[in-house]
Amino acid sequence: MNLIRTSLRALAGPWVLALLAACSSPEAPPAAPPKPVKVERVAAGADAGSDSFIGTARARQRTELGFETSGRVASVLVDVGSHVQAGQTLASLDDQPARLRLSRAEADLSAALAVRAERRNALRQHESLARQQMISSAALQGVQASEAQASGQADAAEAAVRAARRELALSRITAPFDGEIVARAAQPHADVGAGQAVLTLESGHELEVLAMLPERLATGLKPGDAASGSAGGESLRLLLKSVSARADNGSLVQAIFRIDGRPAALRSGSVVSLELRRQGQGAAGVSLPVSALMPGAAAGQGSVYVVDAASGTLARRAVRIDPATLLPGGRVALTQGLRAGDQVVVAGTAFLAEGQRVVVHAPQTVLQEQRP
């Protein structure tokens, strides 16, 4: 019996050792495949980008000229393109009605002055009688009131004469400054209303560009900011002059740019293509989608995942951002932390880890052949 047990132990020994060895050294699981990631490559000398708008060139000094009173146009002495000098007569109304009103006002004034002179003479006589106590104080007061009334009527008549003379003078349009007529809206013998534009005068010495900008962009602008533009194939250098404090239509803000120099071919009313550098870009002009950033411990700090091309793994890189600026398209500007050629992961950063193996995702588009 002991011999049989010894033989069984001898046979079972190698099997037990093999089983123990198999249990102590399991096979390693297969490595996880690289995870596809979407990246943006930082270009050498990356541009900050710009926003394009359409503006209109206009004369800095301009005005619409009209008559202050209504009437019939007697003459228009200039036309579009005419160069005029300050004080030059440009157009006139039929002044006969104004002359008649002036004659009537002058006649009324003469009558009022005569009445006032008579009442003043009567007042002096009554004051002399009052000093001699030959008339009552009530009688004197009546004469004084009559003289005051006559004086008031004379003053009103004098004012009416001044108004009639002014009306006659305003029946002519004179140039307020040297310039050029750029529009004419009335012809002789046409009836015009008070204030209706008849001529448009511009001084062509200096031009400016008027543009309507989105409110989000205008908020970050300040006088002196530079912009670039082009018109008629010529480049323009523009400097911001002013920004309106009011938004038109709820979203557009009027901005005026001064032209640094003036191309000979640029005219008032020309369309100007305007480009503004996006506000808040870093010195390197690098921007990334917000989805690429992982916030840091303090404002302006953050980090991104950069693909190490040699090892195919992720490296976490600290970057500096401007926390107060959000660029169009949900992007933010970076001021430091990235170099030209870096491949930055721009999506799914919450599901990634430093050192993880990745592969750059290359989207493909399959175009279906159209059959007749």
- Reported as a single tens digit per residue, the pLDDT across 212-264 is 988 877 777 888 888 888 887 788 888 899 998 888 877 788 999 998 776 66
> Average pLDDT of 208-215?
88
Is 261 inside a domain boundary? yes
Query: Domain for residue 290, yes or no?
Result: yes
Strand-pairing partners, residue 128, are: none
Consecutive H or E run containing 222: none
CATH code for the domain in which residue 56 is found = 2.40.30.170
Give, as one character, the DSSP assignment of residue 282. -
- What is the model's pLDDT at position 226? 85
* Residue with more model confidence, 7 or 191: 191
- What's the CATH number where 351 sits? 2.40.420.20
Beta-carbon contacts of 279 under 8 Å, excluding residues fewer than 6 positions away, are 217, 220, 221, 325, 327
Nearest residue to 273 (alpha-carbon basis) of 235, 239, 243 = 235
CA distances from 283 to 167, 227, 279, 287, 306 (A): 63, 17, 11, 11, 20
In a domain, 1, yes or no: no
- Structural domain contains residue 369: no
Please tell me whether residues 299 and 249 are part of one structural domain.
no
Tokens representing residue 81 in the block: 């393109």
Residues 233 and 292 in one domain: no
Q: Which structural domain, as residue segments, surrounds residue 347?
A: 39-47+282-360
Number of domains the chain is built from: 3
Q: Is 289 part of any domain?
A: yes
Q: What are the pLDDT digits (tens) for 57-82?
A: 888 889 999 998 889 999 999 999 99
pTM metric for this prediction: 0.53
The answer to the question of residue 114 being in a domain is yes
Kindly report the CATH number assigned to the domain that includes residue 147. Answer: 1.10.287
